[in-house]
């Protein structure tokens, strides 16, 4: 397996100026003609051959400046094309013909045809599955694309840029020609052909240009594309107002397809989406779906500037576009919805996905230095930790400084393929800040642990806050250096108000943001008239773990009065997590579980607090999951003990607050007609969180069953079905709701994914048999990534008791699935495999069985490069 190293980067010997592609689309045989105008890079070795990438290609023609190339001047195999003795002046036009089979392309990478639709996925290295090319992000060229296809089956022929010509041809075929004036790397190339419905709208840009907006979906689904269109227009406006970024082509198109490896793809002017991130109406989509659609439509649109106009020099710089675009997406969601609620959701996501990645065998820096398979680096570290790093820059420089730096970045690098260093330099030059030390966040893997110690001197009215930092070792990086960490700190006085220090010393700070740069630092706050409760990492200003042995009294003060709602939620959540961990330890030791009244009181008070928005109260009521508890315990994890403990604790809390939860759960009935806005969604979230608790207190499925029957939207229906399936598994009420749902949505694959996931996450060892039998359900399709993720992915990653059955049967089932799936779709399979990355944290018996299953996979010598890379790193 080849390893690619950052240190080996060098520019290509030749520059590509223009690319003319002609696609003659056939279901099993598509021909691709490519005419490439090239010239030698100034200073390049004149004898250097031209070496193009390929992947599984069949070459059917090759000419240089119009003349067929003699065999002695080139070598070709499925994966590479080498041409020697190029013209002395270094300028030439190359014509390449390849033949591909889009129907046989089950990898969904390159050009593939499913459900009668031809579509492409070229990031990261899919273009080389279409034609031989310099398939790397630093080779930018202007593309003209001609598509020829049968007019009846493919009335729609789309590619990047603007439509320049359309023609009817003989034999019922037709052609369309697209020209994209913006130079782009091959990974942003896209083509779609088929028969689809469309909705259209318009957007006037800030300089007064008219842009046509189109969203293409399967026939019969156009009525569900309205929310995506609305999100797109809001995203376009927001990017103008917040970052001064204007759209640049005359048309912006989105196509929704049902077979897609990831969420969506930002191809220039022609975004391609997984249909689950476009289609929504109240009967089939939940509030979470609506929020996700809004965020991803915005994310892909924002890439037009952060990713497309300015792209990455090489794939090691992936976070340059992804981290920054996630940060922009998060800011958009915060402005469109509730800032603290959105932030809490980001924190929950980071802790649930990125922290474990950073603490496990697959840990890597935000900017890695080597990879075996780049597809495996589309990770939460590159995306979400990368976003946190940009957020920290904004915290250190302030919003104006951040905007200045970003403006310079857009101005200086427009049309370029650049590095993370180039990005940081813009902030340094625009603001005069030195980010040399800060840059370590990009290079050092692992989640820093911050220790906090405090001493208050009443006489001196002085608070001494000692902050330490330590980053645990990660694979390949044993020694860690201290990072430059911006920590937002609040001091809460006895009456619940924020206290202001008259002076702060001990290190740099920007208002309430302390800059931690050493292993240990003591910050001294003067003018503090009474002992404060200290709130550390407000707004989650840094992606770190905080270890603070704080008094219960102080924590309760923060839980009840902190004005920073992110820190307030964090404290409520931490109190609950601690109680749950203790309960799990008790269950494991065969001791009784007791729940302290203080915790129930905090939760009930938060749920009842009308000054807080419902979405926030819902977040507080959603107690840490079994997976959260397992992660907190960290070693020797027993999923069954955790399950029992959580159930017992929830029951006790539910009984204490029963009256409140019943009242909040029934509050739902008074809601008027469905609206997907954040405030309405928040009210539904609170009612549904309360429903789960009310049902636990009453210990009968009756209330959830009534809620299921009364539900007039997917959010409420799914929430009620989940309560029935998970809290009352096997009851008649649960089985009735599940079969009703299956029947009702028989023709709706995306809705049935929710049904598959609900069933796959029913706690307990018996779920394995159900999952295995669901693979035979007529709605299950192992070639469709959404179905696979909904059933197998949900089971492996979100059912700790079911997947970690003590007999290891689920590991074996999973390993068998992985081995079959790998041959079909390597990208998808490698991502599924990461569900087992934390197996070392399990108790010894399960750990050994899990290892055996992973070793069985690793023992096969015909694994894809994607899967080989993941299992080898997991077993290292």
Q: For binding to Zn ion (CB under 5 A), which residues are involved?
A: 322, 325
Euclidean distance between CA atoms 144 and 37, whole angstroms:
12
DSSP letter string, 124-144: TTTGGGTS-B--STT--EEEE
Bridge-based pairing of strands 141-150 and 91-100 is unpaired
Taking the complex as a whole, the smallest distance from the CB of residue 198 to Zn ion amounts, in Å, to 24
From 652, 627, 533, select the one nearest 577 (Cα to Cα): 627
Give CA 321 to chain center in angstroms: 13
Bridge-based pairing of strands 520-526 and 503-505 is antiparallel
Taking the complex as a whole, the smallest distance from the CB of residue 303 to Zn ion amounts, in Å, to 6
Nearer Cβ to ligand HT7, position 380 or 644?
380
Taking the complex as a whole, the smallest distance from the CB of residue 123 to ligand HT7 amounts, in Å, to 5
Euclidean distance between CA atoms 826 and 664, whole angstroms:
46
Taking the complex as a whole, the smallest distance from the CB of residue 347 to ligand HT7 amounts, in Å, to 20
Nearer Cβ to Zn ion, position 13 or 266?
266
Of the chain, the end-to-end C-alpha distance in Å amounts to 16
Rg, the chain, Cα only: 28
Query: Which tokens is 173 given?
Result: 């075929």
Nearer Cβ to ligand HT7, position 277 or 504?
277
Residue in 218, 300, 331, 388 annotated catalytic: 300
CB closest to ligand HT7, residue no: 262
Query: Which tokens is 65 given?
Result: 């400046």
Q: Look up residue 800 and give its DSSP letter.
A: H
Nearer Cβ to Zn ion, position 322 or 716?
322
Taking the complex as a whole, the smallest distance from the CB of residue 122 to ligand HT7 amounts, in Å, to 9
Mapped onto helix, strand or coil, the DSSP state of residue 114 is: strand
Query: Which tokens is 177 given?
Result: 């020609």
From Zn ion, ligand HT7, none, interface partner of 474 (C-beta below 5 to 8 A by class): none
Instruction: For residue 452, give every residue at least 6 positions away whose Cβ sits within 8 Å of its Cβ, in sequence order, or none.
Output: 465, 466, 467, 534, 536, 546, 547, 548, 550
Give CA 584 to chain center in angstroms: 30
Taking the complex as a whole, the smallest distance from the CB of residue 860 to ligand HT7 amounts, in Å, to 23
Taking the complex as a whole, the smallest distance from the CB of residue 92 to ligand HT7 amounts, in Å, to 32
CB count in 10 Å sphere of residue 815: 23
From Zn ion, ligand HT7, none, interface partner of 762 (C-beta below 5 to 8 A by class): none
From ligand HT7, Zn ion, none, interface partner of 827 (C-beta below 5 to 8 A by class): ligand HT7
Nearer Cβ to Zn ion, position 378 or 410?
378
Say if residue 124 is preceded by a cis peptide, omega within 30 of 0: yes
Query: CA 713, 717, 718: angle at the middle one, nearest 5?
Result: 120
Q: With beta carbons less than 8 A apart as the criterion, state whether 184 and 164 touch.
A: no
Nearer Cβ to ligand HT7, position 13 or 300?
300
Q: Phi and psi (nearest 5°) for 394? A: -65, -35
From ligand HT7, Zn ion, none, interface partner of 456 (C-beta below 5 to 8 A by class): none
Which H/E stretch holds residue 566? helix 565-588
From Zn ion, ligand HT7, none, interface partner of 203 (C-beta below 5 to 8 A by class): none
Euclidean distance between CA atoms 330 and 100, whole angstroms:
39
Euclidean distance between CA atoms 101 and 837, whole angstroms:
35
Nearer Cβ to ligand HT7, position 374 or 725?
374
Q: With beta carbons less than 8 A apart as the criterion, state whether 654 and 598 touch.
A: no
The verdict on whether 125 is a catalytic residue reads no
Taking the complex as a whole, the smallest distance from the CB of residue 299 to Zn ion amounts, in Å, to 5
Q: Which residues bind ligand HT7 (CB under 6 A)?
A: 121, 123-124, 261-262, 264-266, 299-300, 303, 322, 375, 378, 827
Nearer Cβ to ligand HT7, position 406 or 830?
830
Task: Quickly tell me which residue has 């007791």 as its tokens.
Answer: 594
Catalytic positions, written as ranges: 300
């Amino acid at each position: 397996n080849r390893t690619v190293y950052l240190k080996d980067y060098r520019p290509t010997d030749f520059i590509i100026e223009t690319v003319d592609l002609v696609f003659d689309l056939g279901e099993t045989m598509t021909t691709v003609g490519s005419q490439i105008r090239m010239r030698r890079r100034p200073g390049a070795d004149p004898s250097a051959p031209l070496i193009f990438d390929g992947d599984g290609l069949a070459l059917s023609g090759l000419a240089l400046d119009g003349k067929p190339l003699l065999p002695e001047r080139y070598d070709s195999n499925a994966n590479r094309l080498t041409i020697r003795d190029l013209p002395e002046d270094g300028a030439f036009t190359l014509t390449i013909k390849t033949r591909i089979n889009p129907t046989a392309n089950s990898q969904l990478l390159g050009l593939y045809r499913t459900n009668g639709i031809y579509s492409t996925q070229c990031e990261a290295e899919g273009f080389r599955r279409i034609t031989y090319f310099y398939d790397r992000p630093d080779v930018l060229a202007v593309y003209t694309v001609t598509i020829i296809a049968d007019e009846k089956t493919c009335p729609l022929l789309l590619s990047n840029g603007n439509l320049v010509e359309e023609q009817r041809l003989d034999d019922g075929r037709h052609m369309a020609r697209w020209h994209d004036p913006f130079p782009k790397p091959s990974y942003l190339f896209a083509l779609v052909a088929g028969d689809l419905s469309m909705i259209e709208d318009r957007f006037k840009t800030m300089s007064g240009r008219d842009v046509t907006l189109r969203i293409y979906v399967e026939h019969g689904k156009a009525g569900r594309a309205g929310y995506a269109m609305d999100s797109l227009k809001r995203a376009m406006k927001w990017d103008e107002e917040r970052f001064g970024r204007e759209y640049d082509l005359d048309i912006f198109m989105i196509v929704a397809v049902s077979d897609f490896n990831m969420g969506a793809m930002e191809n220039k002017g022609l975004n391609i989406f997984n249909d689950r991130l476009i289609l929504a109406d109240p009967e089939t989509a939940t509030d979470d779906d609506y929020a996700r659609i809004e965020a991803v439509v915005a994310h892909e649109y924002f890439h037009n500037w952060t990713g497309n106009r300015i792209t990455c020099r090489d794939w090691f710089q992936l976070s340059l576009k992804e981290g920054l675009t996630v940060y922009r997406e998060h800011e958009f969601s915060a402005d469109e919805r509730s800032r603290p609620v959105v932030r809490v959701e980001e924190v929950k996501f980071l802790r649930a996905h990125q922290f474990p990645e950073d603490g496990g065998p697959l840990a890597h820096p935000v900017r890695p230095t080597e990879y075996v398979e780049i597809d495996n680096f589309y990770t939460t570290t590159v995306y979400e930790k990368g976003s946190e790093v940009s957020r920290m820059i904004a915290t250190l420089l302030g919003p104006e400084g951040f905007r200045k730096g970003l403006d310079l970045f857009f101005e200086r690098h427009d049309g370029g393929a650049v590095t993370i260093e180039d990005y940081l330099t813009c902030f340094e030059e625009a603001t005069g800040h030195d980010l040399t030390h800060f840059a370590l966040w990009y290079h050092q893997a692992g989640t820093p642990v911050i220790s906090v110690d405090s001493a208050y001197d009443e006489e001196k009215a002085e608070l001494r806050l000692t902050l330490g930092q330590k980053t645990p070792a990660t694979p390949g990086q044993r020694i860690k250096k201290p990072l430059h960490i911006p920590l937002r700190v609040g001091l809460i006085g006895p009456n619940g108000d924020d206290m202001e220090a008259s002076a702060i010393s001990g290190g740099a700070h920007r208002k309430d943001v302390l800059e931690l740069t050493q292993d240990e630092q003591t910050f001294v706050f003067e003018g503090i008239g009474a002992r404060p409760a200290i709130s550390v990492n407000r707004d989650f200003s840094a992606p770190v773990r905080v270890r603070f042995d704080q008094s219960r009294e102080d924590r309760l003060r923060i839980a009840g009065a902190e004005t920073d709602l992110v820190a307030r939620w964090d404290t409520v959540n931490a109190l609950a997590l601690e109680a749950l961990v203790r309960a799990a330890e008790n269950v494991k030791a065969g001791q009784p579980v007791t729940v302290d009244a203080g915790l129930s009181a905090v939760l009930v008070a938060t749920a009842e607090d009308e000054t807080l928005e419902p979405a926030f109260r819902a977040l507080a009521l959603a107690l840490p999951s079994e997976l959260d508890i397992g992660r907190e315990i960290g070693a020797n994890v027993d999923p069954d003990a955790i399950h029992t403990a959580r159930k017992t604790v929830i029951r006790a809390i539910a009984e204490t607050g029963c009256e409140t939860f019943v009242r909040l759960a029934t509050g739902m009935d008074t809601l008027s007609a469905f609206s997907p806005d954040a405030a309405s969604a928040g009210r539904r979230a609170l009612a549904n969180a309360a429903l789960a608790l009310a049902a636990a207190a009453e210990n009968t499925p009756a209330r959830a069953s009534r809620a299921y029957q009364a539900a007039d939207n997917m959010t409420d229906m799914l929430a009620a079905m989940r309560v029935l399936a998970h809290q009352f598994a096997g009851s008649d009420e649960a089985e009735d709701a599940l079969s009703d749902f299956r029947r009702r949505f028989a023709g709706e694959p995306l809705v049935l994914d929710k049904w598959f996931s609900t069933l796959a996450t029913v706690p307990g060892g018996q779920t394995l048999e159900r999952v295995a039998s669901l693979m035979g359900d007529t709605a299950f399709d192992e070639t469709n990534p959404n179905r696979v993720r909904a059933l197998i992915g949900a089971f492996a990653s979100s059912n700790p008791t079911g997947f970690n059955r003590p007999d290891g049967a689920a590991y074996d089932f999973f390993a068998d699935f992985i081995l079959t799936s790998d041959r079909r779709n390597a990208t998808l399979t490698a991502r599924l495999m990461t569900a087992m990355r934390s197996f070392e944290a399990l108790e010894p018996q399960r750990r050994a069985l899990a290892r055996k299953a992973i070793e069985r996979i690793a023992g096969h010598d015909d694994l894809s490069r994607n899967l080989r890379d993941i299992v080898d790193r997991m077993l290292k």
